[in-house]
Structure 1
Amino acid sequence: MPSFSFTRAQVALSTFAMISLVSNLVYASPTESPPLRRATICNGSPDLCSRGFGNVTFVGAHDSYAVGTNNIFATQDYNITQQLNDGIRMLQMQAHNSSGVIHLCHTSCSLLDGGTLQAYLTTVKAWLDANPNEVLSLLIVNSDTLPPSSYDTVFKAVGLDTMSYSPPSSSLLESNWPTLGSLIDSGTRLITFMDSNANFNSVPYIIDEFTNIWETAYDVTTSFDCNVNRSNANTPTATSMYLINHFLDTLVLGQPAPDPSQANQTNAVTGSNSLGEQFSLCTGQQGRNPNFMLVDFYEYGGGSVFEVAATANGVTYSPATPIATPGGTGSTSPSATSSSLNLSFSRWSSVWVVIGSIAFGAFYI
């Protein structure tokens, strides 16, 4: 066997060369491998950057596209840009196939048509671009069981596919979701759930809702509970994220419809049937906070829905500017009715559509 011997100088030179090589690999030039920026403010607070997405409570707008005062099916008074500016961080919607184009409609497009999904998502994209330190969720009710590829086409058309988070698998436990900071740093700040027909293998960023989230009852007209109402049979509900439906309906011709007359109390921090009461009930029953709280007429209560979420997240609710006021005061967006009225004439003026929907058995809020 040949023998080798090295002088101290040779050893030192070899060691220096190895260190230089490793340094060049680790500290590549910015043009070759730009370092990731590190978010210091996430969804309005530095305390949330290290928090896992599954360990944060978000306020969601139920049927966020159903905006207006001249239709009994309207559930929000302000458009989605105002909703997002005020603090909504989950936008729920019903998607329907309207002559080959995806529209956002309440029950059916003949009752309330909120426009095309593409126009809606274009607004979402503009807001995300203007707010680079925010993580946002979408919840799509796939009413006509369209294939995920149909949604993928729209997402790509507006540029949201590259901003969407694709999980490593089709199902994640509450504790396995990435942190808000990592979602912001990676540029994948949009998390989209779909209630039916999602396919992880074809469009991985459209995530099946009920293998990751369970829900409480909806269309409540009396009092709220925290029982599992909708989920996948195989979903581990004890360790999965969950959503509380906290919007109180009233009966119109025997069918549930949005009730703005109770919204101040429904959205309140404390009191009977308040959001705070259901939140506390769920936290006590489940041993952990709800991840999502869907509400109607979010601005009623003067920001109370966001105060409940802030308390849940251990941060202070102190908006830089006041949120929108009930009735649409000071905004060109469609406005709400006065909370002192049961329902305004403009809302009741469309009650005839309910009769038609009942006749066809299509009523669904």
Structure 2
Amino acid sequence: MRLSSTLTPAVLSLLVPGSLALSVNLQSRATTCNGSPDLCNRSYGNITFVGAHDSYAVGINNLAANQDYNVTQQLTDGIRLLQVQAHNLSSDIQLCHTSCDLLNGGTLDNYLSQVKTWMDGNPNDVVTMLIVNSDNLDPSLFDQVYKSAGVDTLSYNPPAASMPATGWPTLGTLIDAGTRLVTFLSTTANFAEVPYLIDEFSNVFETPFDVTTTFDCSVNRTSGDPTTQMFLINHFLDQVILGFAAPFVEEANATNAVSGSNSLGEQVQLCVSDYNRSPNFMLVDFYEYGNGSVFQVAASANGVSYNPTTPIATPIPQGSQTSSASGSAGTVSTTSTSIGFALSVIIGAMSIS
């Protein structure tokens, strides 16, 4: 009898009774996971993912922008952790950088709809969302948006509110189950109320952020045990302008590099030295600077080859007045705001405070 590879273990146990059923080698149906066959049988907690810091904060000539390309392009190029800041504005959950007057990336509903569209077209990829709950909104409000965007059914429900890094399922398991979206919430997570909105700091610790000098691997934020948790490195370099920490775009090639002083590769190696394991998440600004170097660092950490089949998007020079930018997947919309306007907003906010 020929058995279909799509049959579930439960069905196979009925079709192949007795000792024969015990000898059936049940493998994950997913043969390529997040771009590599070598990752399918690896635990989610034992993989390094590249993340886009403030992934919604897309723009040119705006001091509050952290990315050149929208979320669709980010995912197409290889970003697998999407970090956002959620704010309550006009009864909507808006994605804003510190202040919605400084940079408003639109609604969470619209953002998640774009993520859903991309994930529907890429069924062998696991994506992580990290929501910074800036206004401490109740998880039920996020649940409503997830359901509206249709991503609640894609979301992974863990068996417990917190798990060690070694307790997570494999990528193949997540893909086969169709629960390919893992979401962490920075505050107010309630496992009993909305289990798929996972408390970040009982599962993940973070290194220092808003770094303006040298990156390190010290524990900056956690509510759990750093020796067993997954961990995230904040690897985006800022410069201080009028008291505002703004992305240091001019240093992005060096910051995102595979090697060199204060590079992403150097911080990863430092963390391996400190903890005897690679970081699970690497949060970066302007990921495309370095011509794919951030993805090369991740591939090296994961022990897989970095052989992109298509080039990633290219950096957009600051000072450009164009309202759109062309990436490897076509034209990507951006938000163009003058530096003068951004500075005026900062000065105004400082005068109010």
TM-score, structure 2 as length reference: 0.88
Higher radius of gyration, 1 or 2: 1
Partner of residue 23, structure 2: none
After TM superposition, list the pairs within 5 Å mapping 1:53-68 onto structure 2.
53-68=44-59
Alpha-carbon separation, structure 1, partners of 2:56 and 2:282: 17
| 3-state secondary structure, aligned to 2:332 | coil
Q: 2:149 aligns with which of 158, 162, 180?
A: 158
Going from structure 1 to structure 2, the CA distance change for 1:329 and 1:348 (only over 3 Å counts) comes to farther
Please tell me whether the aligned partners of residues 102 and 342 of structure 2 are also in contact (alpha carbons under 8 angstroms).
Answer: no
1:145 aligns with 2:136: yes
Partner of residue 188, structure 2: 197
| 3-state secondary structure, aligned to 1:119 | helix
After TM superposition, list the pairs within 5 Å mapping 1:203-352 onto structure 2.
203-232=194-223, 235-327=224-316, 328=325, 332-333=331-332, 346-352=338-344
Alpha-carbon separation, structure 1, partners of 2:352 and 2:252: 30
Tell me the alpha carbon deviations over residues 149-205 of structure 1, each in whole angstroms, 9 at most, x when there is no partner. 000001111111111001000000000000000000000000000100010000000
**Counterpart residue identity of residue 225, structure 2:** P
| 3-state secondary structure, aligned to 1:350 | helix
Tell me the alpha carbon deviations over residues 225-261 of structure 1, each in whole angstroms, 9 at most, x when there is no partner. 10000111xx110110000000000110132111111
C-alpha deviation, 1:354, in angstroms: 1.3
Partner of residue 73, structure 2: 82
Partner of residue 19, structure 2: none
Tell me the alpha carbon deviations over residues 23-69 of structure 1, each in whole angstroms, 9 at most, x when there is no partner. 996139xxxxxx99710000000100000000000000000000011
Partner of residue 5, structure 2: none
Alpha-carbon separation, structure 2, partners of 1:26 and 1:87: 41
Alpha-carbon separation, structure 1, partners of 2:87 and 2:335: 25
Please tell me whether the aligned partners of residues 28 and 173 of structure 2 are also in contact (alpha carbons under 8 angstroms).
Answer: no
Alpha-carbon separation, structure 2, partners of 1:221 and 1:295: 14
C-alpha deviation, 1:109, in angstroms: 1.0
Runs of at least 5 residues in structure 1 that lack an aligned partner in the other structure: 1-21, 29-34, 338-344
Partner of residue 175, structure 2: 184
Runs of at least 5 residues in structure 2 that lack an aligned partner in the other structure: 1-9, 17-25, 317-324
Count of aligned pairs between the two proteins? 325
- Greater CA drift, 346-355 or 87-96: 346-355
- Overall identity of the aligned pairs, in %: 60
- Greater CA drift, 250-259 or 313-322: 250-259
C-alpha deviation, 1:351, in angstroms: 1.2
TM-score, structure 1 as length reference: 0.85
| 3-state secondary structure, aligned to 1:129 | helix
Partner of residue 5, structure 1: none
Going from structure 1 to structure 2, the CA distance change for 1:37 and 1:56 (only over 3 Å counts) comes to closer
| 3-state secondary structure, aligned to 2:342 | coil
Tell me the alpha carbon deviations over residues 107-127 of structure 1, each in whole angstroms, 9 at most, x when there is no partner. 111111100000000000001
Structural RMSD (CA): 2.1
1:26 aligns with 2:14: yes
Partner of residue 16, structure 1: none
C-alpha deviation, 1:356, in angstroms: 2.3
Alpha-carbon separation, structure 2, partners of 1:205 and 1:54: 16
